[in-house]
Amino acid sequence: MSVKRIAAVVLLIVGLLATVVVIRAARVRSHQIVVQTAGDTFAPAPGALQRLAGAIRFPTVTPDDPSQRNPELFAALHAYLTKAFPETHKTLERETVGLDALLYTWRGTDPALKPVVLMGHLDVVPVDPATEKTWRHPPFAGDVADGFLWGRGTLDDKATVLAILEATELLVGRGVHPRRTILFAFGADEEGGGRQGAAVIAETIRSRYGTVDFVVDEGGAIIPPGIVPGTSVPVAVVGIAEKGFASVELTANSEGGHSSTPPRLTTVGEVARAVARLEDRPMPASLRGASAQLFDYLTAEMPFRLRLLFANRWLFAPLITRVLSRSPSTDAAIRTTTAATMFQGSPKDNVLADHARAVVNFRILPGDSVDEVLDHVRRTIDDPAVHVRTVGVVTPPSDVSSTEAPNWRLVEQTMRQTFPDVLVAPYLVLAATDARYFGGLTTDVYRLMPVRLPPEGVRLFHGANERIPTAAYLDAIRFYATLIENASH
C-alpha cells in the first residue's frame, strides 16, 4: 500500500473517531430532575440559630485520650435538647444507647413499612491549643456575627443534629403523623471511631427491625462553583460510598549502639527508605464507582470541551486520570491513598535506634481491599528486614449505593426542592462516617450535610474558625423537614 493510501486510511480513521467523540458529547443528557420547589413551606421557627448556638456551648469533645472524656458534658447536652425541643420530646421516644449516644423513635402509623434513619453526632474534635489565638470568636462561645454562627461543631456535626430536631419540632407542632417510623441516630464518639455509639445504635436497630429503608448521614455538602472541575454553579455532592481505613505499621530492629560508629543503613534509614518507596509508588489510580458517577452526573452541565472528554472516558480515561491525579483532593477520589503519619526512632540524638517505627495510613478505594493494600506494601518495600502489619481499627471500604434506587430519587428530589439552583451528584466520601456501621441494614446509605459551604468551607472542618453561614443552617432545617415529609408517605 502506498504512503498516500496509508495516509488516507489514517485520516479516515481519525475523522470517524472525531465524529464519534463529538456525537457522544452532543447526546449527553442532564441527570438533573425538575421538581416543584418547597419555597417557605417549612420556614424555621424563631430562635433556631440561638438553639444551635446553645448546643455549641457544650464542649462535648472526644479527646485523643479516652480517659479524658467528660460524660457530664454529654448529659448536660442531652438535658439541653430536652428543654430546647419540648414538643419533640413529648412525642418521640428517646433513649441513651452505648456511650452517650441518643436514639429517637418517631413511631409511624403503618408498622409494616421499614423505618428511615437520619443520623448526626453530638461529639466534636478538640481545639488545638496552638490555634486558639487564631480563632476570631472563642470556639465554644456560639457567637453569631458577620453572617455566620461560629464555633466547634457548627459544621461537624451539631448543625445536622439540631437541624433534624428543629424540623421535627416544626412538623410535630403542625400535627404531622408519619406513616413510616423515623429513627434519629445521634452518636457521641464519631470522632473516635463510633464503635461505642453509632455501632451500638445500628445493632440495636437491627435487633428491633432487621432492616431499614434508607439512611442519611453527614458526608457530602453543597460545594461552591468550580470545586468540581467544569462546574459553574454549586453542586450538592451526596456520598453513595466511603473509603476504607487501614493504618500499616513498618518496623525494623537492630542492636543499636553509639551514633559515632553507625552501620551503612540504620533502622531509621531502613524504615525511612520503606516509607519513601511507598510514597514514590502509590497504588494505581482508576476513575470508577462513585467517583465516576460524579462526573457522569455532571458531564451534561460542563462546557463542551470538557464534555468531549468526560462523555468519552473509554478513549480519554488515561488523560482524565492523569489530570485528576495532580490535585490531592481529586487524586484521593481515584486511588487508595498513601499517607505517612508517624515516625519514631531513638530517644536521643547520639544513640542509634534499636527499634524504628513508622505508620502509614491508607484510605482504601471501593474495589480495593485491605489484603491488596498489605500485598502492595510488601511488594513495594521489598525488604524482609522491615516488618509489616496493620494497627488499630481497620475498616474495609463501603458498598456503593445505587443511584437507580427510588430512595436515591427521593433524596435527590428533596435536594432539588430545597435548593433549586444547585446540581445534585453522587460522589465518594474520602473520610469515615458513622454510616459505615449501617451498611448491613440497607443497601441505600446516603451521606450528605445539606449546607451551602463558603469557599473556604472544606478547610473549616476540624480547623480553626469553624463556622456555618446562618442562612445555610436555616436552609438545612427546611431540607430535613421536606425529607421527613417526603419519606413519611
> How does DSSP assign 154-221, residue by residue?
TTTTHHHHHHHHHHHHHHHHTT---SS-EEEEEES-GGGTSTTTHHHHHHHHHHHHS--SEEEEEEEE
44 burial (CB, 10 Å; 0-12 / 13-18 / 19+) is buried
Dist. CA 353–CA 317, nearest whole Å: 46
- Per DSSP bridges, beta strands 214-223 and 445-452 are parallel
Dist. CA 249–CA 342, nearest whole Å: 9
DSSP symbols for 99-143: TTEEEEEE--S-TTSPPEEEEEES-BPPPPGGGGGG-SS-TTS--
Q: Which residues contact 82 (CB under 8 A, 6 or more apart)?
A: 89, 94
Query: In residues, how long is the chain?
Result: 489
How high is the pLDDT of residue 230?
85
How high is the pLDDT of residue 16?
83
Dist. CA 54–CA 464, nearest whole Å: 19
In 354-433, DSSP assigns E strands to 355-364, 387-395, 423-429
User: Where do the domains of the chain lie, and which CATH numbers do they carry?
Assistant: 48-242+398-487 (3.40.630.10), 244-395 (3.30.70.360)
Residue corresponding to grid cell 498489605 = 374
How high is the pLDDT of residue 455?
83
What are phi and psi for residue 315, nearest 5 degrees? -105, -40
Indicate the range of 33-37, 154-158, 371-375 predicted with least confidence.
Answer: 33-37
Considering the chain, what is the average pLDDT of its residues?
94
pLDDT, greater one: 35 or 438: 438
Dist. CA 478–CA 450, nearest whole Å: 9
Residues annotated catalytic, as ranges: 123, 190
Comparing C-alpha atoms, which of 12, 13, 27, 3 is closest to residue 307? 27
Give per-residue pLDDT as tens, 260-318. 999 999 999 999 999 999 999 999 999 999 999 999 999 999 999 999 999 999 999 99
Q: Give the pLDDT mean for 212-230.
A: 93
3 state DSSP class of 28: coil
3 state DSSP class of 306: helix
**Amino acid, single-letter form, for residue 347:** P
**In the chain, what is the greatest distance between 2 CA atoms, to the nearest angstrom?**
88
pLDDT of residue 8 exceeding 80, the answer is no
Give per-residue pLDDT as tens, 340-368. 999 999 999 999 999 999 999 999 999 99
- Per DSSP bridges, beta strands 93-97 and 101-106 are antiparallel
Q: Which residues contact 249 (CB under 8 A, 6 or more apart)?
A: 357, 358, 359, 387, 388, 389, 390, 391
pLDDT of residue 91 exceeding 70, the answer is yes
As a whole-number percent, the residues of the chain with pLDDT over 70 amount to 99
Chain-centre distance for alpha carbon 443: 17
Tell me the pLDDT band of 38, cut-offs 50, 70 and 90: low
Q: Give the pLDDT mean for 196-201.
A: 98
How high is the pLDDT of residue 68?
93
